[in-house]
Amino acid sequence: MRPCGLSLRTAAVVMGRPKLEIGTYGELTTAELRPGVWEAVARYRDLDGVTRRVKAHGASQAKAKAALRGKLKERKRTNGGGGDLTPDSTVEELAELWLAHVRLEHDQAVERGAKPSKSSDSISQYERCLEKVIVPALRKVTLRELRPQRVDRFLRTLPANGRMAKTVLSQICDLGVRYEALDVNPTLRGYVPPRAQTDRRVLTPEAAVQFRQRVHAWMHQGATHGPKRGYDRLRIVDVLLGTGIRIGEVLALAWADVLDLDSDHPTLYVGWHLDKASKRVEGRKSGGAPYELSLPPLAVEALKEQRDLQLPFDLVFPTRNGTAQSESNVRRHLREARGDDMGWVVPKTMRKTVSTAVYEAKGLEAAQRQLGHATPETTRRHYVKPSEKAPDNREALAEYSTRIRPADPQEREKTG
């Protein structure tokens, strides 16, 4: 018996075709509209429960299908994920949903003009952690099977990125608990991967001179005519050593950010950085508030020399085409220049060098503000080299010492 009011054909379709889960799509079908133009079509059930036809086109059947899959993936992302999670859903499915939520929250915050809770760089790091570490190891494990013991074993196998992996997996599982696909978060009270030892080494003035000399020699190595390779590397180093800002923030500097360079008090606006595609992005990498820095002579001279080149671009350190330089290229050039015995020197070393110099002269709060950290604790834990000498506390200990061992020989005999 067919449902009341439906034709035989419609009833067959309704009864024979199961309803799609929200956020999923059905079979992909294709048709050649004309020579060289293919159309791919699929039914997609949107967040409002309505199933709609989605189309895409391509020069071949395969290209049309690929275009449609991309379109469906983007539709799923903008809808905040996919269908309902259950204990039989996989870690990969939960991870995809979590990442879709994170991206959507970021995009919505940007559209409202609000500060996203997670920066685009942080989201890129999460994505790499998922692709390289978590998903390959746990891809088809169901949430029902994601027990604390299994998570513990997984975290103990990680040679690197362990803490990041646990952080990401914990946030993913929080979503699973919220959606009732997990009873508890299996990462809680589990194994905590050890924190990588922070390299606290900084450049002494003598070591900084040596490093600069090596960069200078590398720039001129083999140059007989034409522009030097990495012509601006030494000036980039001087800005790093003169400010303590990040390498991506240096490469994102525009001349509009360099304020009053010829005055008695030149300053620098730090409010841009480069993303992973070397695109200049407003805001700081850490998501911290933009701020202004006073420039010391080392950075001022480097910026004046760069300005004297009169390059016809807005960026301070552009490529020959006026675009932002790749951070990885600059890092590679500095590695080539430094030599094996200075292999520990990286751009972050110069940030620590500046922080330590300011800390020793003016204290922790001044060092924190120089680097633009939100709290002094970050500066203290990661960017300040502890002094290897205790302060001269002889005056403070003088009375204490005298009471223990009196200076008067007669009093000393009484006390033994």
| Percentage of the chain modeled with pLDDT above 90 | 60
110-124: b or e for each residue (b if 16 or more CB lie within 10 Å)?
eeeeeebebbbbbbe
Q: Does domain 8-75 have CATH number 3.30.310?
A: no
Q: Summarize the confidence of residues 154-165 as an average pLDDT.
A: 82
* Domain regions of the chain by residue span: 8-75, 91-178, 205-382
Q: Contact, 207 vs 339, CB < 8 A?
A: no
Q: What pLDDT digit, counting tens, does each position of 323-339 carry?
A: 999 999 999 999 999 99
**Two domains, one topology: 8-75 and 205-382:** no
Q: Which CATH class is domain 205-382?
A: mainly alpha
Answer yes or no: is pLDDT of 183 > 60.
yes
Q: What pLDDT digit, counting tens, does each position of 366-395 carry?
A: 999 999 998 888 898 888 888 777 778 888
Task: Spell out the residues 6+ positions from residue 340 whose beta carbon is closer than 8 angstroms to its own.
Answer: none
pLDDT of the residue at 324:
96
Please tell me the least confidently modeled range out of 171-185, 217-231, 297-311.
Answer: 217-231
Please tell me the least confidently modeled range out of 32-46, 154-168, 239-253, 358-372.
Answer: 154-168
Answer yes or no: is pLDDT of 200 > 50.
yes
